[in-house]
Amino acid sequence: MKTLDLYERALEPVKHWWMYLIIGILALVLGIFMLASPVITYEMLTLLLGVALIIFGIIQLVVAMLSKNFFVSRAAAIIGSILDIVLGVLLFANPGISAITLPLILGMWMMYKSFMTISYAGDLKGLKVKGYGFTMFCGIVLLILSVMILLRPITIGMMTVAIYIALSFIIYGLSEIVSSFRLKSISQIIEES
């Protein structure tokens, strides 16, 4: 009975694998756009990040509400998605947020996402899913980038912060894309058994 319950709980979030793919593609496109647009204004960057976080938060909230979310605790997923939405609204509503505050906020957001990504990689490893190492690697790189921003939010300069944020979104996007296909493969394994 416990094995059946485990499969049922694992099947719930994998039904929505395509939503994680959408998040990954959006994050990847945003990161590439930010890297390719060195003249992007500070206000535009803040607005883009705000909109992106609102979209990510809504998608993640839908997935968390529709599933028992075996891979990451449902409460953590709901809280994280609500924080994404609140942070997105805060950034969108205040595009003139200070150059000191933005790196701190985004550094903390990146750190939270890195912990969630590392935890998710651990869940994949526990289920013996191949390729969990890439997800773990992405989580560790996100953690390093977040620490680099948080240690020197004032002295590294806005251009460097923008590059770190762009790289973070690219890494986060790649991680979500790979993870979505991992979830899809788990779904196929579960359906075949």
pLDDT at 77: 79
Distances (CA, A) of 125 to 86, 129, 133, 148, 150: 32, 6, 8, 27, 29
- Check if the beta carbon of residue 90 is closer than 8 Å to that of residue 143: no
Query: At 20, is the secondary structure helix, strand, or coil?
Result: helix
122-137 pLDDT, tens digit per residue, is 877 877 777 788 989 9
Q: What is the mean pLDDT of residues 34-39?
A: 77
Beta strands in 21-120 (DSSP E): none
Residue whose entry in the numeric block shows the structure tokens 């890195």? 114
pLDDT at 144: 94
| Phi, psi of 5, rounded to the nearest 5 degrees | -60, -40
89-145 pLDDT, tens digit per residue, is 988 888 777 666 878 888 888 899 899 889 888 877 877 777 788 989 999 999 999
pLDDT at 180: 85
Distance between the two ends of the chain, CA-based, in angstroms? 15
- Check if the beta carbon of residue 92 is closer than 8 Å to that of residue 50: yes
- Of how many residues is the chain composed? 193
CA distance 142 to 127: 23
Beta strands in the chain (DSSP E): none
CA distance 106 to 125: 28
Q: Which residues, in sequence order, are CB contacts of 86 under 8 Å at separation 6+?
A: 57
- Asked if the model's pLDDT at residue 86 lies above 90, the reply is yes
pLDDT at 22: 92
Distances (CA, A) of 132 to 39, 69, 105, 170, 191: 36, 18, 28, 18, 21
pLDDT-derived band at 1, boundaries 50, 70, 90: very low
